[in-house]
């Protein structure tokens, strides 16, 4: 087994005896904003090699998994730590398929909040599922019990996204089909049409590529929540809330909006220089850890090109390719295409609306969040950093009528 080289930017912060009763802040406090480069625990989940652009799930290279594995197998690998045997995979698949339904109470919640953004609906419905989960004790934080809840949420979340999309269009929800794979069933519930092998294969690869990514903001949220011994539904709800932002999962939606705003490939270069010239950012570029190309992006790039040609709609691939060309000089600054750059146009070509793009990311990531939660629980510690106080002290309290 090859040893992994640690990231080069380890920052050491000297342990400081902090007296909470005093406002005297020791001089040697080093503030690491955004926790950039800080290791806060160990993991056997995944390794994001930002310098070389490598991603490893449980020891397996993402390229091997993207080319050879399925969503179900990858989810098992992440949650249980090893690739399944045929019978283990069959049992896991049965468990997923048997958990896809969501209770009527939760469907009512979806109807109530149907006008909200799909991520808000997903977050609300996942939270509501805590009230109907079949586990004997929702607060059971054992690794086994938590993993089981994570498996159920993995199976139920696509149903939430699909039901919501149908309900908000005034259509009847389409129930899950046990003869379809995780990816194919999701597309079927969403569109009402059985997807082709290519379409479900694309969604399947997308789930594999999004399944786990270390201590990113949403996984960190999940860990912080689990660290307080709150339950799995709480941790996944927190993770979904965190994923929503455009600096994290929301970028795919923004990329597609950008491509539409550009409109034609000849306008891409000017668009990029205008945005950068006004201090803006190009969505789908840059990453906190990757300073080389995001290894997930290449799988989606090739798929985006192929799908566009097959659908007779190669425009989006061409526009985005021109954006990528215009961003070439930024590679020298470590700003490369990230996974969201091509994902948005693929979802668009599959006929999916922009506002569910980030929810699709969440569906793929629930197994990773589950793993992060169970790993946290396996050796739990409260995650509680400090803030360096820089406000006033010794202020005199003035009663309200004298201010």
Residue 328 Cβ vs ligand COA, minimum distance, rounded to whole Å:
13
Residues facing 337 on adjacent strands: 285
Q: In what order do the strands lie in the sheet with 54-57?
A: 46-49, 54-57, 60-61
Residue 248 Cβ vs ligand COA, minimum distance, rounded to whole Å:
6
- What are the residue numbers of the active site? 287, 340
Q: Per the structure block, which two tokens stand in for 9?
A: 């930017």
Site for ligand COA (CB under 6 A): which residue of 47, 57, 285, 342?
Answer: 285
244 sits near ligand COA (criterion: CB under 6 A): no
Site for ligand COA (CB under 6 A): which residue of 287, 299, 322, 336?
Answer: 287
Site for ligand COA (CB under 6 A): which residue of 69, 127, 338, 372?
Answer: 338
Residue 352 Cβ vs ligand COA, minimum distance, rounded to whole Å:
19
Nearer to ligand COA by Cβ, of 247 and 273: the residue is: 247
Nearer to ligand COA by Cβ, of 195 and 286: the residue is: 286
Nearer to ligand COA by Cβ, of 233 and 322: the residue is: 322
281 sits near ligand COA (criterion: CB under 6 A): yes
How many Cβ atoms from other residues are within 10 Å of residue 389's Cβ? 11
Nearer to ligand COA by Cβ, of 53 and 286: the residue is: 286
Binding residues for ligand COA restricted to 305-334, rule: CB under 6 A: none
What is the secondary structure of 281-312 as a DSSP string?
--TTB--SS-SS--TTHHHHHHHHHHHHHHTT
User: Which of 103-112's residues contact partners 24+ apart within 8 Å by CB, and which partners?
Assistant: 103/129, 103/132, 105/131, 105/132, 106/132, 106/160, 107/163, 107/173, 110/160, 110/163, 110/164, 110/167, 111/167
Nearer to ligand COA by Cβ, of 133 and 340: the residue is: 340
- Give the DSSP H/E element, type plus range, for residue 366: helix 357-378
Residues facing 47 on adjacent strands: 56
What is the secondary structure of 89-156 as a DSSP string?
HHHHHHHHHHT----HHHHHHHHHTTTS-HHHHHHHHHHHHTTT--SS-TT---HHHHHHHHHHHHHH
Give phi and psi for 355, each to the nearest 5: -75, -5
Site for ligand COA (CB under 6 A): which residue of 150, 286, 367, 368?
Answer: 286
Site for ligand COA (CB under 6 A): which residue of 93, 253, 340, 375?
Answer: 340
335 sits near ligand COA (criterion: CB under 6 A): yes
Q: Which residue is nearest to ligand COA (CB)?
A: 286
Nearer to ligand COA by Cβ, of 166 and 287: the residue is: 287
Name which of 328, 87, 6, 70 is nearest 206 in CA terms. Answer: 70
Residue 319 Cβ vs ligand COA, minimum distance, rounded to whole Å:
16
Which span (130-138, 160-168, 245-253, 258-266) binds ligand COA, by CB under 6 A?
Answer: 245-253
Name which of 341, 376, 336, 334 is nearest 361 in CA terms. Answer: 341
Which span (39-47, 184-192, 337-345, 377-385) binds ligand COA, by CB under 6 A?
Answer: 337-345
Which span (20-28, 64-72, 283-291, 307-315) binds ligand COA, by CB under 6 A?
Answer: 283-291
Give me Rg for the CA atoms of the chain: 22
Residue 259 Cβ vs ligand COA, minimum distance, rounded to whole Å:
13
Applying CB under 6 A, the residues found at the interface with ligand COA are 246-247, 251, 281-288, 335, 338-340
């Amino acid at each position: 087994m090859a040893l992994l080289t640690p990231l080069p930017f380890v920052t050491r912060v000297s342990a400081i005896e902090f007296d909470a009763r005093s406002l005297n802040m020791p001089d040697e406090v080093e503030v690491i904003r955004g926790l950039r480069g800080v290791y806060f625990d160990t993991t056997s989940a995944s390794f994001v090699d930002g310098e070389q652009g490598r991603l490893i799930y449980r020891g397996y290279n993402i390229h091997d998994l993207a080319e050879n594995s399925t969503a179900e197998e990858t989810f098992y690998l992440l949650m249980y730590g090893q690739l399944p045997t045929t019978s283990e995979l069959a049992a896991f698949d049965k468990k997923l398929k048997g958990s896809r339904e969501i209770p009527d109470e939760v469907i009512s919640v979806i109807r109530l909040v149907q006008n909200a953004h799909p991520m808000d609906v997903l977050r609300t419905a996942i939270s509501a599922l805590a009230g109907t989960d079949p586990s004997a004790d929702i607060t059971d934080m054992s690794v086994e019990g938590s993993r089981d809840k994570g498996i159920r949420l993995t199976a139920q979340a696509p149903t939430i996204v699909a039901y919501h999309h149908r309900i908000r269009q005034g259509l009847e929800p389409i129930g899950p089909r046990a003869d379809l794979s995780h990816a194919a069933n999701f597309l079927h519930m969403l569109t009402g049409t059985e997807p082709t092998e290519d379409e479900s294969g694309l969604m399947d690869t997308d789930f594999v590529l999004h399944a786990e990514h270390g201590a990113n903001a949403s996984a960190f949220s999940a860990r912080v929540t689990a660290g307080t011994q709150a339950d799995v539904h709480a941790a996944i709800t927190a993770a979904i809330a965190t994923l929503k932002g455009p600096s994290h999962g929301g970028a795919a939606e923004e990329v597609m909006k950008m491509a539409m705003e550009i409109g034609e490939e000849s306008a891409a270069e000017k668009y990029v220089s205008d945005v950068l010239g006004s201090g803006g950012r190009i969505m789908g570029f840059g990453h906190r850890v990757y300073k080389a190309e995001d290894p997930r992006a290449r799988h989606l790039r090739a798929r985006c090109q192929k799908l566009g040609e097959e659908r007779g709609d190669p425009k989006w691939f061409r526009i985005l390719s021109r954006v990528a060309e215009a961003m070439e000089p930024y590679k020298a600054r470590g700003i490369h295409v990230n996974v969201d750059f091509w994902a948005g146009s693929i979802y668009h070509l599959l006929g999916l609306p922009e506002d569910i793009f980030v929810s699709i990311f969440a569906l793929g990531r629930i197994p990773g969040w589950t793993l992060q939660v169970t790993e946290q629980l396996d050796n739990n510690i409260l995650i509680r950093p400090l803030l360096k106080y820089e406000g006033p002290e010794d202020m005199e309290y003035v009663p309200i009528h004298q201010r």
